[in-house]
Structure 1
Amino acid sequence: MKIWQRRAIGILTLGGGSIGIAAAITLLLTRTNPIEWIFCIAFMAVYAWGVWCGVRLLEGQLGAERSSLRYWLAQVPAFGSPLLGYFLSSGFHTTVSVQFAPLKLNGNFLLGSTFNYSLFQPNQPWFIGVNVFAVAVAWLLARGGQQSAP
């Protein structure tokens, strides 16, 4: 991996994780349901992991690509149903999804960090999506980790 790629991904990972923590804290302070607190704290932990991964990338530590790869892979899926929904992005996302009943193709992008969750919400539609940007970053990290291996 080229140094500029490592730095760009490191900054995006570190900054996105920091913004995600701030967003999760803001959401946590507005919630009254303890189950929602658990979700917010869980997402804060994931974003804290992103901060740690970003620092490791920027410092050029051994194995930083591998831990960051896992962090970015956690951002690839997006799905929702009346039972459970999940979406996570850190720093930037470009997501393509297909919604069922009614059938609809959606696209979304955002500079910043966001997360969504749902649990037992019967009005939620069925959809499945992919964060294309996270796939590209994960591919770069996987490729870069293989090139830097002895």
Structure 2
Amino acid sequence: MNHYNKTTRFFAAMLVIGGIIGIAIAAILGVQLIRQSWLLAFPMGGLAALFAWAVFTGLRLWQGTPYGRKWAAILFASQIPELTLPGLKYQWYTGAHLSPTLQFGNGSAGADFSANIGASGEFFIGAGVPELVIGINLFAVLAVILLMRANHSFKLKTPPG
């Protein structure tokens, strides 16, 4: 097994394991939230679908298919930003999350670092987010870089002649 195969298999496992954990979390929360209103099942279903896509893509990456090589890098790229603005929150990950963040709000500023293993997804649009948080998932950055290095379809091709 060469270096690139080990790398892609590691990140494939992170997508699959994190995706399965994410599906389980979405299902548990969905069951609890549906008691309040059946409309709350839709966001949890969307989150479960996103995690299911991560599982599917991770399996394709493990098999070395072009689909898996392409979409795994794109899925990890979508996990890089962590952004909270007044009225908007976006953050999700599968597998691992290593994130330095800058936080601004309530007349103060701060820096933080979080490290998590598993899965999470936070997507929110509304008036309940009072602060500004900007961060990056360093694990996802590393995944994108290494997957792109291992993926022949991302390499520049020189024209013949």
Q: Does 1:46 align with 2:54?
A: no
Deviation per CA, 1:117-144: give whole Å up to 9, x if none. 3332435311111111101101111111
* Alpha carbons 1:17, 1:48 under 8 Å: kept: yes
Return structure 1 stretches of 4+ with deviation > 6 angstroms: 147-150
* Among 96, 101, 109, the residue aligned to 1:97: 101
Q: TM-score, normalised by structure 1?
A: 0.89
3-state SS of the aligned residue for 2:27? helix
Look up the equivalent residue of 2:58 and give its one-letter code: G
Choose the corresponding residue for 1:133, options 129, 139, 155: 139
Q: Paired residues, what number?
A: 150
Report how far residue 30 of structure 1 moved. 1.4
Cα distance in 2 for partners of 1:25, 1:118 equals 18
Q: Counterpart in 1 of 2:10?
A: 8
- Structure of larger gyration radius: 2
Identity within the alignment, %: 24
For residues 99 and 82 of structure 1, what CA distance do their matches in structure 2 show? 12
Q: Could you list the runs of 5+ residues in structure 2 that have no partner in the other structure?
A: none
The DSSP-based 3-state class of the residue aligned with 1:112 is strand
Q: Deviations over 1:24-78 (max 9, x none)?
A: 1111111134554332222111111101111111112134211101111111111
Q: What one-letter code is carried by the residue in structure 2 that aligns with 1:42?
A: G
2: CA distance, partners of 1:70 / 1:123 = 27
Counterpart of 1:58?
A: 62
Separation in 1, partners of 2:37, 2:141: 34
Unaligned stretches of 5+ in structure 1?
none
Q: Deviations over 1:86-139 (max 9, x none)?
A: 110101110111111221111101111112233324353111111111011011
1:83 is aligned to 2:87: yes
CA RMSD of aligned residues (A): 2.0
